[in-house]
Structure formats: structure tokens, C-alpha cells
């Protein structure tokens, strides 16, 4: 059974502050690590798919890093805005036919 852990479980951040959270995953049989943003009453939205060790991706104020050797990824949000409030999910895949294995998510609340 694959174990994908996300921390913290929830996070309250003041508007304008920067924040980051962690996803840890198995370091063996790695194929890709996905990040999704899931706003209430909407569908999960893909942020990044990362495959290479040391990879760093950026989308506006959001960026992510990947360390496949030690099995972790960080998601960073710079200058948090109220619209960043959402649950952020990471998901691991070994590339087989087992689909994505998701963590429980980090619930981010941006306080004005």
C-alpha cells in the first residue's frame, strides 16, 4: 500500500504572506508527482505534473519543487490572496495501471 502524506493538514495564512507545504511519497518506483488545487464546490484543477528529480515548476505566484531521491515535494505560494483558499492535493504515480495515489490534502485558508 502506497503512502502519500501531506502536511500540515490545515493552514491559516494572512493575506499577503507567503506559505509552503509538503508532500512526501515513496522514493522507489517513482514516475510522476501531481499537484491539484481543489476549491469548494468546484472540480480539482491540475497545477503541476513533475517527473524529474530537482524539477521546479512555476505558475504565477505558485511554484513547486521535487526531490525524488528522498521522496518529497514542496508547494510554495508567494503573496497569498483570498482566491488561493482551497485544498491542495498531491498525488503520486509509479507509472503503472494503479492510477494516482492521493494524499489527504492541505486545507489552506487565507485570512484578509
Partner 1 sequence: DAGVTQSPTHLIKTRGQQVTLRCSPISGHKSVSWYQQVLGQGPQFIFQYYEKEERGRGNFPDRFSARQFPNYSSELNVNALLLGDSALYLCASTDSTGEGQPQHFGDGTRLSIL
The residues that touch partner 1, with contacts defined as CB under 8 A, are 4, 31-32, 34, 36, 42-46, 49, 51, 89, 91, 93, 95-105
Least distance (Å) from partner 1 to the CB of residue 80? 23
The residue count of the chain comes to 112
| Structure-derived torsion over alpha carbons of residues 52, 55, 57, 62, reported in degrees to the nearest 10 | 120
d(CA 13, CA 19): 7
Least distance (Å) from partner 1 to the CB of residue 5? 10
Least distance (Å) from partner 1 to the CB of residue 15? 27
User: How many C-beta atoms lie closer than 10 Å to residue 29's C-beta?
Assistant: 11
Amino acid at each position: 500500500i502506497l503512502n502519500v502524506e501531506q502536511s500540515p493538514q490545515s493552514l491559516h495564512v494572512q493575506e499577503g504572506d507567503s506559505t509552503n507545504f509538503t508532500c512526501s511519497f515513496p522514493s522507489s518506483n517513482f514516475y510522476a508527482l501531481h499537484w491539484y488545487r481543489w476549491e469548494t464546490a468546484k472540480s480539482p484543477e491540475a497545477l503541476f505534473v513533475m517527473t524529474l528529480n530537482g524539477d521546479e515548476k512555476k505558475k504565477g505566484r505558485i511554484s513547486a519543487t521535487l526531490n525524488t531521491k528522498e521522496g518529497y515535494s514542496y508547494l510554495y505560494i508567494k503573496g497569498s490572496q483570498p482566491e488561493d483558499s482551497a485544498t491542495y492535493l498531491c498525488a503520486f504515480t509509479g507509472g503503472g495501471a494503479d492510477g494516482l495515489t492521493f494524499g489527504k490534502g492541505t486545507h489552506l485558508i487565507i485570512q484578509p
